[in-house]
Amino acid sequence: MSNILKWFKMTKNQIFYNMYKVFFIVLICLYTGNLAFAQKVYQRDELTRFSGGKPYTFDPTNSDDSPTNLVLQDLFEGLTRIDQNGKVILALASSYKVTNNKKTYIFKIRSDAKWSDGSKVTAAHCALPIQRIVNPKILTTIGFSSYPILNSQKILEGKMPIKKLGVQIINSETLQIKLSQPFPRFLELLSGINYVCLNPKDFNSKGLFINEIPSLSNSAYRIKDYLKEKFIRFEKNPYYYNFNNVKINNVIYYFTEDILSQINMYITGQADMTSPNISSNEIPYLNSKLIGSQLILNRTADSIILILNISKKPFKNNLKLRKSISMVINRDEIAKKILYDSKFIIYDIVPDYIYEYTPYIPKWATVSYVQRVKEAKKLFNESGFNENNKLTIKINYNYSPDSYKIVESISDQLKKELGITVILNRLDYNDNVTSIREANFEISLITWNPNYLDPIEYLGLLKSTKHYKFSYMNNPKYDNLLDMATAQVENKKRNILFEKAAAIGMEYYSVIPLFDKLSRYLVNSDIGGYKENDPYLKLYSQDLYFKKITIK
């Protein structure tokens, strides 16, 4: 009965598409005279999906956005990974032990861990990502994440050579990693895409990525076809240690950001799942096509934030201007436009569902919007701008109807309440990321994607660094609190320190938190292996499978 109900939920095109598949199989069975086979199981072997944008890079060390992470996680694994239940599990490591008061981890590499050409994955390959992350010559946004590893921060700041890094290759199958202090989330840290084991064939002697796409992979899939700007197709990696448990043989990712195109391909049976970026604009269309009930809603660990470039005017050395902008943004009004519940509104980049962490809420957020605007106008005038010295700013954003609704609303609110003229500048995902990395922007709307659920994955974005800056914030007291929190083993005490740091960081207004992200996506009813309400929303292709269709 449940299968019949699923058919009724399909659109006309989906029904015809599935009937065609069944008819084709029956025809073959009748032609061959194998009627017994006609009663057997039919199972598809190619998954068609969308990344939600072009990968910014194929270098895992430099990946910090959803489209790139989604594609790379099918190609690479590290010592650990997050499974479909949101739990950290061993991946290329077969075992580990912890010594030295929880400050030394010794990993054994799986004997059957191999690259897609059949060569063995070694301990040196799993040390390489850490060595690259701390290399000051390699620009990466996530260098702060390595700070629990012994001497990593000093190396990243150019105060110590890489040979002093707390990573030692004992032998080809044994890797030792020393920490500066116990770090309870270390296994989760290693599960991130930036820490996957790497093959030196893809890098030069300086550690720089030299190929357009990786020459080898070590996870469930390897690259079969690649058309830049369009798509990438994977085939099952015959040397993958978990080969027999990977049910889907081929995967194709289309790079288009256009959600309507994704939905139409899904409706017509040309795609099995969309990217998790369906906006509020598309919901009426889905309902008109009778597939609104197939929409999956998933609150994720991602944070939607504005980044302000405080390295340049008008925001440099102008806290009052930055704060006034945050105060007049009416998040409740915007939430209604993008069909978000008010519980998704944030004033701290750290989400409220991290255990024993209480997000920061500024005092002005507890008063009426009218009162907030009154105070914001006072700050704005004190910042040096008024009727005689008007301000014009540019906000960059990615192609997405909801992103446009957010920046359009902010533009209207800034114009109405502060007289600021806002230029909206739509960029594709790659260009927006590049502009942030090169500090070639004024304000940018982005979604931050943490590797795992821990305050440091969010607050670390604001930590001062010399070789690369994300927010250009430089506050020694803030940095010290993060260092103290990282060194603290007891979770409650650790989070109290993070909360103190957040109070400083959020009052700096180099980033303006807006919302926790609500992801919306479509998945074909004959696909299993994923979990709804998953804050990580990994959706590894290797975990998915096509449900069997039995023809009777």
The dihedrals phi and psi of 472, each to the nearest 5 degrees, come to 65, 15
DSSP helix/strand/coil, 383: coil
Residue 474: CB atoms within 10 A of its CB come to 17
Which residue stretches of the chain have pLDDT < 50? Answer: 1-12, 15-17, 19-38
Please provide the size of the chain in residues.
552
540 contact partners, CB below 8 Å, separation of at least 6: 73, 74, 84, 220
The dihedrals phi and psi of 379, each to the nearest 5 degrees, come to -65, -40
**What is the DSSP-derived secondary structure letter of residue 159?**
S
Q: How many CA atoms lie within 13 A of 208 on its CB side?
A: 6
Q: Supply the pTM of this predicted model.
A: 0.82
Domains identified in the chain and CATH numbers: 47-253+523-545 (3.90.76.10), 298-519 (3.10.105.10)
Q: Which of 225, 242, 243 is nearest to 234 (CA)?
A: 225
For residue 10, give the amino acid letter.
M
Q: Which of 266, 239, 244, 245 is nearest to 254 (CA)?
A: 266
User: Quick check: 7 and 232 in contact, CB under 8 A?
Assistant: no
pLDDT at residue 387, rounded to an integer: 81
CA distance 124 to 84: 28
User: Quick check: 350 and 511 in contact, CB under 8 A?
Assistant: no
Distances in whole angstroms, Cα of residue 108 to Cα of each of 79, 148, 533: 9, 20, 33
CA distance 411 to 394: 10
Q: Which of 257, 204, 214, 167 is nearest to 60 (CA)?
A: 214
CA distance 492 to 249: 45
pLDDT at residue 284, rounded to an integer: 93
CA distance 257 to 61: 23
pLDDT at residue 195, rounded to an integer: 97
pLDDT at residue 536, rounded to an integer: 86
Distances in whole angstroms, Cα of residue 102 to Cα of each of 8, 106, 180, 185, 407: 55, 11, 10, 11, 46
Burial, 365: exposed, middle or buried (Cβ in 10 Å; 0-12, 13-18, 19+)? Answer: middle
Q: Which of 517, 496, 290, 495 is nearest to 402 (CA)?
A: 517
Residue 330: CB atoms within 10 A of its CB come to 18
Buried b (16+ CB within 10 A) or exposed e, 439-451: eebbbbbbbbbbb
Q: Which of 301, 297, 299 is nearest to 282 (CA)?
A: 297
**Which secondary-structure segment (H or E) carries 177?**
strand 174-178
The token pair at 528 is 């299993």
pLDDT at residue 122, rounded to an integer: 98
Q: Which of 215, 213, 221 is nearest to 238 (CA)?
A: 221
CA distance 223 to 117: 12
CA distance 417 to 328: 7
Question: Tokens 């996957």 — which residue?
Answer: 196
pLDDT at residue 534, rounded to an integer: 85
The token pair at 363 is 């005092």
The 10s digit of each residue's pLDDT in 162-184 is 999 999 999 999 999 999 988 88
